[in-house]
Amino acid sequence: MPPLPKKQLSKSKQRSRASHFKSSATGHSICDRCHSPKLPHHVCPTCGFYKGRGVLAVGSQNSEA
């Protein structure tokens, strides 16, 4: 059986310990169509394409698709 703490930690102690485990910034992938950075598994905000398909109408660039 694992050892258990005798007393409950205060919120300030918990938060100060947890503050050292900071997550890094979210990784970016590159759009295959316009080569601009975008979030992975999201529609490209520049050209509006996702997985090679036009999903959003963004500006005049997407009018032919």
pLDDT tens digits, 15-65: 888 877 777 666 788 998 899 999 999 999 899 999 888 888 877 554 454
Contacts of 47 (CB under 8 A, 6+ apart): 31, 33, 34, 36, 58, 61, 62
DSSP E strands, 1-65: 29-30, 37-38, 49-50, 53-54
User: Across-strand partners of 37?
Assistant: 30
pTM comes to 0.48
Domain boundary assignment for the chain: 28-65
What was the pLDDT predicted at 53?
Answer: 81
